[in-house]
Amino acid sequence: MKTTIKEEHYSNYINNEWVQSASGKLITSINPATKEAMGYVQSSTEEELNKAVEAADKAKKVWRKLGQAARGQLLFKTASLLEENLNEIAESMTKEMGKTLPEAKGETARGIAILRYYAAEGMRKEGDVIPSSDSEALMFTKRTPLGVVGVITPWNFPVAIPIWKIAPALVYGNTIVFKPASEAAVTAAKIVECFAKAGFPEGVFNFVTGSGSVIGQKLIDHPKLNAITFTGSEQVGQNVAKSAAARGIKFQLEMGGKNPAIVTKNANVEQAVEAVISGAFKSSGQKCTATSRVVVEEAVYEEFKQKLVEATKKITVGNSLEEDVWMGPSASESQFNTFNEYVEIGKQEGAKLIHGGEVLTGGNYDNGFFVTPAIFDEATAEMTISQEEIFGPVIALIKVKDLAEAIEAANNTKYGLSASIFTSDINSILEFIDEIEVGLVRINAESAGVELQAPFGGMKGSSSGSREQGEAAKEFYTAIKTVFIKGS
C-alpha cells in the first residue's frame, strides 16, 4: 500500500483526490511504546473542511440514484482491499495506539466482516407494504438517505468504529465526511486508501484530519451537513448534541461507560476471574465497554479477590509488537497521566491498592507509557474510581451482601453502556436482565464486546438513544417515506 506523499505521511482525501492542507502544518502521531514519530497527517483548516462538505453535498444525488445493490458491491470491493492489507493496517494500529498485534489483527478482521455485512444490505428490503383502508390503493414505505453525514471517531478502535459508522451510512445512500481522532489518524488514512481504491464516485467519501475544535466543530455547524455520528468523551458528546439540536439535524452519540461485572455466590469463580481480566485489561482498559467495577457478593469475595490478583500478576506488559506481551502501553501521554491521577485519587479516597498501579521504568520501559494494571480493594460505589470513566487498566472491587445490593451498586452511575453477571442461578440471571440499566447485557461473559450483527448502544449518559450496528443502523442513517398510490 503506497501513501500519497511519502511513507507514513497522509493528505486529506476530498472529492477523490489526495489534498494537502493550506495550513502547511502536520500533526505528528507518536508510538506510545517508543515515543517516536510513526506518521503524520494534515493539520487542516476550515477551507479543506468546506471543500469536503461541498463535495459530499454535490455527490449525494448521484450516489442515492446509483441504487442500494450497486452501493453494496462497492463495499464488497473495499472489504477485499482491506483484507489484502490486513497485516499492514494492524501493525500501524499497534504502533500508533499501543494495542497488541493479535488484538489489532482481530479488530481489522472485524472491520472486514462489518463491510461485508453491510454490503449484503444492498440486496435486502428497504421498505414494507402496508394494508390501506382503501381497497383500490397501494400503500408502502421506503427508506431514503439523510444526505451528508459527518463521522467523528475516537482513537481506541481506529478501524472497527469508523467502519461500523461509514459502511451503513454509505450503503443506505448517504455521502460522508470522515474526521478521525488525531491520535489514530494514520491508521484511519490507511482505511481511507482502501475506500479510495474501490472506485466510489467523486465526492461520496471524504476524509479530513485536524483538531476537534476546528474541524470537528466546523463540521457539526456546517449548513450542508444533514446528520452527525460521534463516538468519544461525554463532555464533547454533549457539545455535539447541543450544536446538532440547535440546527435541527439528526445526531447519534456513544459516550463511554463505567461498566460493572457482578460476581454472585453461585458463580464459577475461575470463569469470572478470566473474563474480568480480559474485560478490564485488554487494550490497556481503553474500551468504552471495559470492566472497571467488579461488584462481588461477600460469600465469594475473598476467593475471587485472591484469584484475581494471582491471575493479574501473570500479565506481561511491554511493546505490543512483541509476541509474548499481553498488555501494551497507554495510548498516549494524556492517557498515561490520567491513569496515574486516578490511582492517586483512589488511594486518597480510602480504597486499598492491592496490586499494580505502578509506572514501569528501566530498559525499554523508559521509552514508552507503560503501567501495571491496578486493582483496588475496599472501594465503595460512591468513590470517584467507581463513578468516573478512567479509560485505563483499573479495577475497583466492591463488596456487597446479596444480588439486590449488587444491582443497586451497579446502577449507581450516570453511565449505562454494558454490564455482566457471573452466576449459575437462573433467577439471578432473569432479575439482572430486568433490573440492570444498560444497553448491553452479558451473562457469564466479559462486559467488553458485541457482535457486529447486533444493536450496540447504551442508556443514561452513555448514549443519545439510537443504536449502532446490525439492522438497527438503518434507523439512524435513513428516514421513512410513506407512499400512497391510487389509480386515476
Give the type of residue at 371: V
Number of CB atoms found within 10 A of residue 316's CB: 9
Helix axes 269-281, 301-312, angle to 10 degrees: 50
Interatomic CA distance for residues 253 and 248, integer angstroms: 15
Give the type of residue at 120: A
Backbone φ and ψ for 211, nearest 5 degrees, come out as -70, 150
Give the H or E element holding residue 22: none
- Per the residue annotation, which of 48, 193, 254, 297 is the catalytic one? 254
Please name which of 116, 110, 229, 227 lies closest in space to residue 167, comparing C-alpha atoms: 116
Query: Do the beta carbons of residue 314 and residue 368 sit within 8 Å?
Result: no
The yes-or-no answer on residue 254 being catalytic is: yes
Cell of 333: 501521554
Listed in sequence order, the DSSP H helices in 172-300 are 185-198, 217-221, 234-247, 269-281
In three-state secondary structure terms, 155 is coil
DSSP state of 212: I
Please name which of 481, 282, 305 lies closest in space to residue 373, comparing C-alpha atoms: 282
Interatomic CA distance for residues 221 and 57, integer angstroms: 15
Query: Do the beta carbons of residue 222 and residue 50 sit within 8 Å?
Result: yes
Interatomic CA distance for residues 281 and 292, integer angstroms: 9
Interatomic CA distance for residues 301 and 269, integer angstroms: 10
Query: Do the beta carbons of residue 167 and residue 195 sit within 8 Å?
Result: no
Q: Half-sphere exposure of residue 461, counting CA atoms within 13 Å on the CB side?
A: 17
Query: Do the beta carbons of residue 342 and residue 330 sit within 8 Å?
Result: no
Give the H or E element holding residue 52: helix 46-66
Measured over the CA atoms of residue 370, residue 375, residue 379 and residue 382, the dihedral's sign is positive
Cell of 254: 456513544
Residue with cell 453494496: 72
List active site positions: 254
